[in-house]
Amino acid sequence: MPKKVDHAARREEIVQAALRLCARDGLAGVTIGQVAEEAGVSKGLVQHYFAGKADLLRASAQILRAEIERHVREAVRGARGPADTLRCVLIAIVELGVTAVVPLLAGHAFVSMAVADPEIRALYRAGGDAVHREIAALVAASGAAPNVDAGAEAHALLGLARGLADGVLLGELGVDDAVAIVDHHLRRILPEVATGSDTPSSRRVSE
């Protein structure tokens, strides 16, 4: 009886190999041959699942976005109310610098490709817009100060969290320091809401 092949799992293995190469060597290091070697399969098998490098990279970008979204969703489990959920989302992004290094580095590599590839650019824009809407809604529902523009603040908080994630990745600051900066900004826009050690989600990666 012929062995049943899990095609979805095989595609996933190939994509994960491509993401590791993106993180390690950048897009220039992603060739069909290199991906095949990294995945431990033949070039022909990679070409069986993907029409070419561009097709493989587009599939990789989609899975990458899904991985990051899953990481954030897991981080907000158990959050109590919109303010705590907002903090959990921001800290989850910051923690990508230690808990999801390969996706973070691969994501940076894909940004340059997104500039020239409309499909990947649309994927990134859709993902970014969705995160922005979620954060803006959480800011608005968290008792923000009257003068706070939820949409503008969402852009600022998202940019802050992404920048801190890069800082953590590069060793410019520790996770605890980055979380303290997030809490500082949340206290500025949510003066009536406790942050940091007063919230249920006050865990640290180092614990």
Kindly report the three-state secondary structure assignment for every residue of the chain.
CCCCCCHHHHHHHHHHHHHHHHHHHCHHHCCHHHHHHHHCCCHHHHHHHCCCHHHHHHHHHHHHHHHHHHHHHHHCCCCCHHHHHHHHHHHHHHCHHHHCHHHHHHHHHHHHHHHHCHHHHHHHHHHHHHHHHHHHHHHHHCCCCCCCCHHHHHHHHHHHHHHHHHHHHHCCCCHHHHHHHHHHHHHHHCCCCCCHHHCCCCCCCCC
Q: Which amino acid is at 4?
A: K
Q: Look at residue 167 in the predicted model and tell me its pLDDT.
A: 95
pLDDT digit string, tens, across residues 70-125: 888 888 888 889 999 999 999 999 998 888 888 888 888 888 888 888 988 998 89
Asked if residue 35 lies in contact with residue 18, where contact means CB atoms within 8 angstroms, the answer is yes
Q: Look at residue 3 in the predicted model and tell me its pLDDT.
A: 63
**Exposure on the CB side of residue 164, measured as CA atoms within 13 A:** 23
Q: Which CATH architecture has domain 7-198?
A: Orthogonal Bundle (1.10)
Q: Look at residue 194 in the predicted model and tell me its pLDDT.
A: 57
Q: Look at residue 108 in the predicted model and tell me its pLDDT.
A: 86
Percent above pLDDT 90 for the chain: 49
Q: Is residue 50 predicted with pLDDT exceeding 90?
A: yes
At 162, the pLDDT band (50, 70, 90 cuts) reads very high
Q: Look at residue 71 in the predicted model and tell me its pLDDT.
A: 86
At 203, the pLDDT band (50, 70, 90 cuts) reads very low
- Unique residue bearing structure tokens 């706070």: 148
Q: Give the global pTM.
A: 0.81
How high is the mean pLDDT of the chain? 87
Q: Look at residue 149 in the predicted model and tell me its pLDDT.
A: 94
pLDDT digit string, tens, across residues 112-152: 888 888 988 998 898 889 999 999 999 999 988 788 899 99
